[in-house]
Amino acid sequence: MEGNLLVAHGGGPTAVINSSLYGVITEAKKHAQIKGIYGARYGIEGVLKEEFIDLGREPQENIDLLPYTPASATGSCRRKLNDKDYPVLLEIFKKYNIRYFFYNGGNDSMDTCNKVALLARESGYDMKVIGIPKTIDNDLEFTDHCPGFGSAARYAAISAMELAKEVEALPIHVIVLEIMGRNAGWLAAATALAKTNTEAGPQLIYLPERPFNEEEFLEDVRMWHSKTKGVLVVASEGLVDANGVSIADTGLVDGFGHKVPGGVAQALSDKIINRLGIKSRAEKPGLLGRASIPMQSGIDREEAIGAGAFAVKSAVEGKTGFMAAIRRTSSKPYSYEFELVPLEKVANAERKFPLEWINERGNGIRKEFIDYCMPLIGAPLPQYAALSKISVPKL
């Protein structure tokens, strides 16, 4: 089927969202039936405004830089479509002869993608629609993991390694490291990769999948502080108590009505200071950890490019209404393949961190997750010097 291709980004950028874009563009150029290759400026909002970039005419040297460029080169958005938007979208697709549409994003974006696929089918407009997964939260169902997670996990792990060395070098306080993850703790759990032994930091890790218990938390901190003096605590930004109340709530909501979390590290540090009388400070890499190219995982980049290319191949073959998912075929050695999953299954489905991968106390991560995550972060983590504890005898 001849026609033009349109690709758009939705939700928060990652270190490899542009890698998927590269995969789409590179694969599209191989197929003569794809006449134009367009990118929507700022996601689905750009489609509604008819603001497109002619990606097919971009200089090749610029395209080749995409896999090593942070954030979203075409722009993204958090826009929830309403009933009035869909007829407008359909007319725009027809106007520009868009016959291949790809939406690269997370849960909400896959819902949008699914509705666009249904729109085309119900209206009798022949357009192939494929979703490309993307989220640092790793919370999409029916895929082993999401492009973007491996790089963000690498950033989180190395950040924890560095802060663990900080508290070890100056053991006078507790550092609370806040890691992104609104409802799922996958990324916070990745800091467990930093542990080099049972006593090394992070000593405590808390995920939103387990209700946060303030008294147990303070007891844990007190115990570790008495033992090591310097303590590293990792807290997912989405921590909630047994009643589902956020430990820290900004009071803001995004374009999809989701609460915007943030401030949990400071909230926990305040509790440590006020209730335990221990010096504490909050650290929050925030957006720095979402799209860092120096911390980009090579396998993450490879998979993101492959997902984009696989989506185009599938659409050209006549497939529509699917997401390009990753299926792990082996962990040691690591290998994978792509497969198609119906968008209706993925849309708005949120995969939480497995409870069986959290320790009994709810403050640490089990080895099963380490085995799952380690292949996704790319090159081995750095090794730091650990000087001998043998002291020179006093004279």
Asked if the model's pLDDT at residue 163 lies above 70, the reply is yes
Looking up tokens 């989405």, which residue turns up?
238
Q: Is-contact 9 79, C-beta < 8 A?
A: no
Model pLDDT, residue 259:
66
Please state, as a whole number, how many other Cβ atoms lie within 10 Å of the Cβ of residue 212. Answer: 22
SS3 34: strand
Q: How far is CA 363 from the centre of its chain?
A: 22
CA distance 154 to 375: 10
- Binding site for substrate: which residues? 135-137, 180-182, 237
CA-nearest of 75, 71, 139, 84 to 108 is 139
Confidence of residue 387 (pLDDT cuts 50, 70, 90): confident
- Binding site for diphosphate: which residues? 12
Mean pLDDT of the chain: 95
Model pLDDT, residue 9:
97
Amino acid occupying residue 122 = E
Asked if the model's pLDDT at residue 252 lies above 70, the reply is no
pLDDT average, residue stretch 213-217: 97
Confidence of residue 123 (pLDDT cuts 50, 70, 90): very high
pLDDT average, residue stretch 247-256: 71
Domains along the chain with CATH numbers: 3-136+294-346 (3.40.50.450), 150-289+353-377 (3.40.50.460)
Asked if the model's pLDDT at residue 119 lies above 80, the reply is yes
Amino acid occupying residue 86 = Y
CA distance 354 to 209: 8
DSSP annotation of 379 reads S
- Binding site for Mg(2+): which residues? 107
Q: 73-94 pLDDT, tens per residue? A: 999 999 889 999 999 999 999 9
Please give the residue that has the higher pLDDT: either 44 or 250: 44
Note the pTM of the prediction, 2 decimals: 0.95
Asked if the model's pLDDT at residue 258 lies above 70, the reply is no
Model pLDDT, residue 109:
93
Name the CA radius of gyration of the chain, rounded. Answer: 23
Model pLDDT, residue 386:
85
CA distance 125 to 49: 20
Q: Cα separations (Å) of 338 from 159, 223, 321, 372?
A: 31, 46, 16, 18
Model pLDDT, residue 257:
64
Q: Which of 108, 111, 137, 300 is catalytic?
A: 137
CA-nearest of 133, 204, 152, 193 to 373 is 193
Asked if the model's pLDDT at residue 239 lies above 70, the reply is yes
Tokens of 250: 């900004």
Q: 18-77 pLDDT, tens per residue? A: 999 999 999 999 999 999 999 999 999 999 999 999 999 999 999 999 999 999 999 999
137 given a catalytic annotation: yes
Q: 267-311 pLDDT, tens per residue? A: 999 999 999 999 999 999 989 999 999 999 999 999 999 999 999
pLDDT average, residue stretch 312-320: 98
Percentage of the chain surpassing pLDDT 90?
A: 89
Q: What share of the chain is helix, strand, coil (3-state, %, to 5)?
A: 40, 20, 40
Tokens of 288: 């720095």
